[in-house]
Amino acid sequence: MPWYKKLHWQIIIGLVLGLAYGVVAAMAGWGGFTSDWIAPFGTIFLNLLKLIAVPLVLASLVVGVTSLSDLGQLSRIGGKTMGMYLMTTAIAIAVGLLFVNVMQPGDTVPQELSERLQVQYQENVEEGQGLAESAQQRGPLQPLVDMVPGNFFSAATDNANMLQIVFVAIFVGIGLLMIPEEKSQTLVRGFDALNDLVIKLVELIMLVAPVGVFALLADTITTITADSAGDILNLLGALAYYCLAVVLGLATMVFVVYPLLLRLFTGMPMSRFFSGISPAQLVAFSTSSSGATLPATMRCAENNLGVSEEASSFVLPLGATINMDGTALYQGVAALFIAQVLGIGLALGQQIELILLVVLISIGTAAVPSAGIVMLVIVLENFGIPAAGIALIVGVDRPLDMLRTTNNITGDAMVASVVADSENQLAREAAPGGDGMAEDVETTVGEPAQRGTRSAERS
């Protein structure tokens, strides 16, 4: 396939053309034409993303929770695994927030440009500031109260209530686990089908992403460069700085946090871990899908790291579905970056709330390319940050997706090693001759990820 037919290149082309068009349109005074005839396509793209957010979270989480039903005798491993997954995801977001707070990439955008962007996104900015103020006045348990909806349908009518949907999904999932299988099966299958459908819709929406990105950027740039074209360079500089914050955060997780946890819990040397898992990391990097990488991750863990089949076949499929440290880190940095660019401050209390929300949102993120940025819309809406702000970062999303997916599967493999070791199921020596990359790995790459993941969970 020629390079220009690949989606991520098309999105980058959309970004560059949107930038170029914005400058030309600003100079030629095409502001009215742009907002009448170009901007609506950007709004449609955004609306499509918002449209699937509720069903995506609901279906993906219910399926994730009900897939635990096979575990029976593995419930002890289940507890440890979930504990490690939640802990590492929370650490990842905290690391991301640390970098973005210290580096402040959004603040490199000059005050004047930031003010113009704020005018453009006026309504949401006011909402965000209002939320920040009211957050400071609320009681300590209010976030907990806010999580539990009094009515499912009213929760589902507003994307800003996504935490409530997350709560309902987990609650329903647990309930389904507790009723007889012949009764729950029909519903579980329904949610599974809904999940597959939504993932297909994400794929379809991403097909129009190049046009959506073009339109969103054309409109943004036309408005902000009406006075000075030099602003674009400032914006691009801030974007590069934002990417650096994400990359440094991911590197900290992969090269500092994971090796430390491994050493602490298993004593496995870093060199053995990295040489064992690197084939799977390369697959993750090139597919941007932890689901598609799952067979490679499992083989590497079993053949190279010495994780028992029993542990690997439970911990890794579950991890591919719900453990997304890299994605969570990225979502935290991206949300704060957009807020910084638009001059919306998030108080410490709100950042703690952000950690909680992103842990849950990352659990509900599908293991497929670009899922992280789709779910980011939910995070933004919850904090009154304009969802249209993703226009600023979507152009650089693919390379970051490749890196965060690599982080995601590395985290899964680390937890698999720790859990296996705690069960005396971690061989000290790797299996002879196995490089973890049997022929079926290659054939699985690029296949619809979620199917591989879910079916592996059930088998």
Nearer to ligand ASP, 220 or 289 (CB): 289
Residue 30 φ then ψ, to 5°: -95, 25
**Contact letters (x/-) for ligand ASP, 299-328, by CB under 6 A?**
-------------------------x--x-
Applying CB under 6 A, which of residues 172, 311, 367, 415 lies at the interface with ligand ASP? 367
Residue span binding ligand ASP (CB under 6 A) among the ranges 15-23, 158-166, 218-226, 401-409: 401-409
Nearer to ligand ASP, 124 or 407 (CB): 407
Nearer to ligand ASP, 232 or 391 (CB): 391
Q: Tokens 């979507």 appear where?
A: 394
Name the residue with the smallest CB distance to ligand ASP.
Answer: 372
CB of 394 to ligand ASP, least distance (A): 12
CB burial of residue 315 (10 Å; 0-12, 13-18, 19+): buried
The answer to whether residue 289 forms part of the interface with ligand ASP (CB under 6 A) is yes
Cβ atoms of 417 and 273 within 8 Å: the answer is yes
Applying CB under 6 A, which of residues 220, 290, 304, 312 lies at the interface with ligand ASP? 290
Site for ligand ASP in 78-97 (CB under 6 A): none
Nearer to ligand ASP, 235 or 367 (CB): 367
- Number of H helices and E strands in the chain, helices first, is 23, 0
C-alpha dihedral sign at 414, 283, 308, 77: positive
CB of 438 to ligand ASP, least distance (A): 21
DSSP string, 299-327: HIIIIII-B-HHHHHHHHHHHHHH--HHH
Token code pair at residue 36: 């009448």
Q: What is the DSSP letter of 302?
A: I
Nearer to ligand ASP, 176 or 371 (CB): 371
Q: How many residues does the chain have?
A: 459
CA separation for the pair 51, 175 (Å, rounded): 26
Nearer to ligand ASP, 221 or 367 (CB): 367
Most distant pair of Cα atoms in the chain: their distance: 70
Applying CB under 6 A, which of residues 118, 161, 365, 450 lies at the interface with ligand ASP? 365
CB burial of residue 201 (10 Å; 0-12, 13-18, 19+): middle
Residues that bind ligand ASP (CB under 6 A): 288-290, 324, 327, 365, 367-372, 401, 404-405, 408
